[in-house]
Chain A
Amino acid sequence: HPLGLGLNVHNDYKMKFSVDEEYPDLSLHNNHMAKVLTKEMYSKLRSKSTPSGFTLDDCIQTGVDNPGHPFIMTVGCVAGDEESYEVFKDLFDPIISDRHGGYKPTDKHKTDLNFENLKGGDDLDPAYVLSSRVRTGRSIKGYTLPPHNSRAERRMVEKLSIEALATLDGEFKGKYYPLNGMTDAEQDQLINDHFLFDKPVSPLLLAAGMARDWPDARGIWHNESKSFLVWVNEEDHLRVISMEKGGNMKEVFRRFCVGLNKIEEIFKKHNHGFMWNEHLGFVLTCPSNLGTGLRGGVHVKLPKLSTHPKFEEILTRLRLQKRGTGGVDTASVGGIFDISNADRLGSSEVQQVQLVVDGVKLMVEMEKKLEKGESIDGMIPAQK
């Protein structure tokens, strides 16, 4: 059947009610979805359903249930499958544009996972840069996404992931720990390593249905040296993380690219490559993660710079964002910030990590200047 006319009996039943009766009350809302979802758009899209049965109301439920977040402008909608971005294009395109710096429906996204294209990144001062990390997400083509998938689908994603990861060797040789079945000792170790992920508590995620059936088919894989880690079936099919203490972002990125490429090869061989297209790049659950899905960042000590009146402006010009060291939704502790790229879509992996490397290097130099009581006015960068 044509895209957009998937089978969903409940949605068909809902069509008996008028648009006025079904249209959500968004009067107190402040998220991207609420900004674009007019009654007219709701009327146009509400009868549609992806082939797997995901509907407009399914997309927007998290945004209806969560009017706004105190610190950040949330997206307010999710995709339930690859086709969501097509069937509900009218909703997603303006949100993508607003969220990703004016990205147009006709724009093309560049993917570049060639780590050799990164310049520098191996000389960030470890007295300031405490740790470096690059993460991204990947979705397995042919399966619906965490807001919508059934238990069988989620288990298939886990099965494929375990098979793929088991073939890795050398620096990537590792082990899988299913959430439902790890020993107490394994659990304690994973907690101490800060690897263990919990059932989501954020209402943004829960309202989208991605915590259903927890902890069925969820797990963590990591290599022996604990520098390459994969989360299975949390907010996305896969979250891939490369990390280490200190400031050698170059090495972190090398391992990231090499590991990802190896994993992708294996999935492709099984005829289940990653969801990707030349407009949106890598397709993930949340529209905010489209493109590279990449967040490359450091934990860095900037007690003086962070209190400088121009701190926010510097970050904006460098195309960087700050978070607390607990991740998104947290505040910083002791002048230590999580600094990472703000962009995801419209620039490549290499370009985004380059911004982090260059920007953090500059900010550490500014911190050192401020420690000496000198001015940083001459160092304020131009908008990147």
Chain B
Amino acid sequence: MANSFTRILSSKRNVGILSLVGAGSLTAGFLLKREHVTAGANVRRVYPASAEYPDLRKHNNCMASHLTPAIYAKLVDKATPNGYTLDEAIQTGVDNPGHPFIKTVGMVAGDEESYEVFADLLNPVIKERHNGYDPETMTHPTDLDSSKLTSGQFDERYVLSSRVRTGRSIRGLSLPPACTRAERREVERVVVDALAGLKGDLAGKYYSLTNMTEQEQQQLIDDHFLFDKPVSPLLTCSGMARDWPDARGIWHNNTKTFLIWINEEDHTRVISMEKGGNMKRVFDRFCAGLKEVERLIQEKGWEFMWNERLGYILTCPSNLGTGLRAGVHVKLPRLSKDPRFAKILDNLRLQKRGTGGVDTAAVGSTFDISNLDRLGQSEVQLVQTVVDGVNYLIECEKKLEKGQDIKVPPPNRKFRW
């Protein structure tokens, strides 16, 4: 299997990783020892795999669909070099049989190596979740050149706000389901350190969840920036809320248009947003900000988890690739009542959510409309899909306002592998 991972590790060794001192040196020693990504036995194996195999008869998630007894038996004794196991990876899917509205993924990664060590399960899960994308044979395009985006200004009589989010993981540190307190604190340090170097319209401030004043907390709540300890059992069962609120925080720029969550479901969640319909500017800032943060962490010898098969590596397999969700809050009072609405969205490769995000219902007729896909297409391609799609939806709404009929667009086949 292509091991760009070890290539990068080797090159990192030459770049003077030993120059990292203090708390950073933990990673220096750690990376130097990680020669290969293979299994390490971790478990007291008292019972055979068949006695341990979970009861998935009532389950409906991607993990349950693909975890056969044979695959379980093959993987159950394996662990990543840090000691993360299959049972840990699937615990969330065992504990949460199914979600009423959406087929959940049902498993997470505890570290970058999980995607290698548990590939026999993760690859079919990824394939199902990402419309047939095959990590073994395909490559994922990364493109953060926002200048390629066209028609990125929406009619603001309909589009109330525009937003693009993604996640980034710091290579060398375990992911939220598995990270130790030290690793989590290191993620916070590395990221906050880099963000302090942002300038101009990106300059901002960090608010640690443990240390913020009541005033700061109230302001963050009013801005709708503050994130809480997760309550969704999908997240808590995977262990990502441990030690809350230690090493969690929120950074945002002074103009409140670029926001970073630290150590929530991923090492970082990066959000660019504005009121109104200027998706072009939102995406410009998104790309510029991401590139600048990447440059700043690289100056200190760090990098993001990425490889050419899976793109950006994140905790949940659903967020692989771009990890990108670009969306708008848009008023579609007539279109949303049209029986063809769902089909139109589907053909445009868009999804609707309530304005509270995933798991919520729409209020009035304002919807959160965003891209369905994450992996296999680039950032530019996905944001363009949203731009083209939302413009189409607005055209439909306008037509219905005038009493004209609308057309269901042909299905967008670019996503299917």
The chain A residues found within 8 Å of chain B, CB to CB, are 6-14, 16-18, 21-25, 51-53, 57, 61, 64-65, 150-153, 155-156, 180, 206-207, 211-214, 216
Contacts of B336 in A (CB 8 A): none
Interface range for B: 35 or more
Given A17-B183, A216-B55, A10 contacting B44 (CB threshold 8 A):
no
Query: What B residues does A156 contact at CB under 8 A?
Result: 47
CB < 8 Å neighbour of A53 from B43, B55, B81, B178: B43
Closest to B27 in A: A16
Contact between A9 and B241, CB atoms less than 8 A apart: no
Q: Are A9 and B82 in contact (CB under 8 A)?
A: yes
* Complex: A52 Cα to B46 Cα, angstroms: 10
Given A25-B210, A65-B242, A150-B87: A17 touches B180 (CB 8 Å cut-off): yes
Determine how close the nearest CB of chain B comes to the CB of A111; give it in whole angstroms: 29
- Are A21 and B82 within 8 A (Cβ)? no
Q: Which residues of chain A are within 8 angstroms of B53 by Cβ–Cβ distance? A: 151
Q: A64-B243, A212-B94 are in contact. Are A9 and B83 (CB under 8 A)?
A: yes
Given contacts A24-B243, A206-B236, contact A152 B183 (CB under 8 A): no
Q: Report whether A155 and B82 are in contact in the complex, using a CB–CB cutoff of 8 Å.
A: no
Selected from B23, B42, B87, B91, the residue in CB contact (under 8 A) with A9 is B42
* Centre residue among A14, A17, A64 by max chain B CB count within 10 A: A17
| Given contact pairs A9-B83, A11-B83, A13-B83, A24 touches B246 in the complex (Cβ within 8 A) | yes
Q: Are A9 and B41 in contact (CB under 8 A)?
A: yes
Interchain CB contact under 8 A, B52 and A150? yes
Q: List 20 A-B contacts (CB under 8 A).
A: A7-B43, A8-B42, A14-B182, A21-B23, A21-B182, A23-B181, A24-B246, A25-B210, A25-B246, A52-B44, A65-B242, A150-B47, A152-B47, A152-B48, A152-B51, A153-B46, A153-B47, A212-B94, A212-B237, A214-B95
Least Cβ–Cβ distance between B338 and chain A, in angstroms: 39
In angstroms, Cα B55 to Cα A108, docked, is 43
The complex places the Cα of A5 from the Cα of B40 at a distance, in Å, of 17
Q: Do A151 and B182 form a contact, CB below 8 Å, given A12-B83, A16-B29, A213-B95?
A: no
- Judge whether B283 is part of the interface by a CB distance below 8 angstroms: no
- Considering the complex, give the chain A residue whose CB is closest to the CB of B49: A152
* Given A22-B180, A211-B95, A216-B55; A13-B87 close (CB under 8 Å): no
Inter-chain CB contacts under 8 Å: number: 96
Mostly, the B contact residues are loop
Shortest Cβ distance from residue B44 to the other chain A in the assembled complex, whole angstroms: 5
Residues B70-91 near A (CB distance < 8 A): 79, 81-84, 87, 91
The answer to whether A212 touches B40, judged by C-beta atoms less than 8 angstroms apart, is no
List the B side residues contacting A211 at CB < 8 Å: 95
Within B219-242, the residues touching A (CB, 8 Å) are 236-237, 241-242
Taking the complex as formed, is B244 at the interface, i.e. its CB lies under 8 A from any CB of chain A? yes
Task: Indicate whether B26 reaches chain A with its CB closer than 8 angstroms.
Answer: yes
Alpha-carbon separation in the docked complex, A150 to B52 (Å): 7
B170 CB to nearest chain A CB (Å) = 15
Scan residues 151-185 of chain B and give those whose CB is less than 8 A from a CB of chain A: 178, 180-183, 185
- Report the Cα distance A156→B47, complex, angstroms: 10
| Cα–Cα distance between A155 and B53 once the two chains are bound (Å) | 11
In the bound complex, residues from chain A placing their C-beta under 8 Å from that of B42 are: 7-10, 53
Chain B 86-102 per-residue mask, 1 if CB under 8 angstroms from chain A, else 0? 01000100110000000
Given A21-B26, A23-B181, 10 additional A-B pairs, CB 8 A: A6-B44, A10-B42, A10-B82, A10-B178, A13-B81, A25-B210, A25-B246, A53-B44, A64-B243, A152-B48
In the A-B complex, the 6 residue pairs with the closest CB atoms: A10-B83, A9-B83, A21-B182, A17-B182, A152-B47, A152-B51
Is B54 interfacial (CB-CB < 8 Å)?
A: yes
Q: Are B82 and A13 in contact (CB under 8 A)?
A: yes
- A25–B210 Cα distance when bound, in Å, is 10
A22 to B87, CA, bound (A): 24
Smallest CB separation, A275 vs chain B (Å): 17
Are the CB atoms of B181 and A21 closer together than 8 Å? yes
Look across to chain B and name the residue whose beta carbon is closest to the beta carbon of A155. Answer: B51
Residues of B within 8 A of A10 (CB): 42, 79, 82-84, 178
Closest CB of chain B to A50's CB: distance in Å? Answer: 10
Docked CA distance A213–B236 (Å): 13
Q: What's the least CB distance linking B229 to chain A, in Å? A: 9
**What residue in chain B is nearest A14 (Cβ atoms)?**
B180
Q: B30 an interface residue at 8 Å Cβ cutoff? A: yes
A-side contacts of B46, CB under 8 Å: 152-153
Known: A65-B241, A65-B243, A216-B55. A8 touches B181 (CB 8 A): no
> In the assembled complex, how far is the CB of residue A355 from the closest CB belonging to chain B, in whole angstroms?
39
A326 to chain B, nearest CB (A): 22
Choose one: B41, B52, B95; the contact of A212 (CB below 8 Å).
B95
Q: Which residues of B contact A17 (CB under 8 A)?
A: 26, 180, 182-183
Q: What residues on A are CB-neighbors of B52 within 8 Å?
A: 150-152
Residues of A within 8 A of B241 (CB): 65
Knowing A9-B42, A151-B52 touch, does A18 contact B47 (C-beta < 8 A)?
A: no
Cα A13 to Cα B91 with chains together (Å): 21
> B177 CB to closest chain A CB, in angstroms?
12
Bound Cα distance from A7 to B81, whole angstroms: 14
The reply to whether A22 and B181 form a contact with Cβ atoms under 8 Å apart is yes
**Are B95 and A8 within 8 A (Cβ)?**
no
**Closest CB of chain B to A28's CB: distance in Å?**
8
B54 touches A213 (CB 8 A): yes
Distance, CA A18 to CA B51, complexed state (A): 38
